[in-house]
Structure 1
Amino acid sequence: MTITVTATLMLMVFYFLLLYGGVAFVQDKKFFSSAPKEVYDAVPDRKERFRGAHIVGWIIIACTLLICAALAWLCTLF
């Protein structure tokens, strides 16, 4: 049961980091393509919070995916 709870918490953290990197830093309209038309129209085309925000967002996303893949690979060893 401990493994299940730990895995669930880790997946929640990874999902949060992916959303945080994509929505808060990358801010690309294609991430909102499934949203209702009103929300999609309200999203600005390009807006950087600070210089290099897109790079920080992609680094967060890449690190999250690498850690998640590494942990999935480790789970297959046991």
Structure 2
Amino acid sequence: MAITIYTKPGCFGCRKTTEKFTEAQVAFTEVDLTAEPAALEYVTEELGYSQAPVVVVDDQFHWSGLDPANIVRAITFARQEMAG
């Protein structure tokens, strides 16, 4: 499982989201949407999001914006995967 967090510089929600995953010691890849045009196209055109951060856990589990409940779900899911 590979969690990807699409962020923008200066984005409060982006910073808080990455902090939560870091604090939980759950690995993720951070992609700067302002530096990666293909990533921006993916989250806007394919996933349909217009707000950063966009967190992609897998094809069915993804969201945009600062969402504490989904962050907890994703961390729990990642820990189960690591243990499993």
TM-score over 0.5 (shorter chain): no
Larger strand fraction of residues = 2
Structure 1 or 2: larger helix share?
1
> Radius of gyration: which is bigger?
1
Please, what TM-score do these two structures have when normalized by structure 2?
0.29
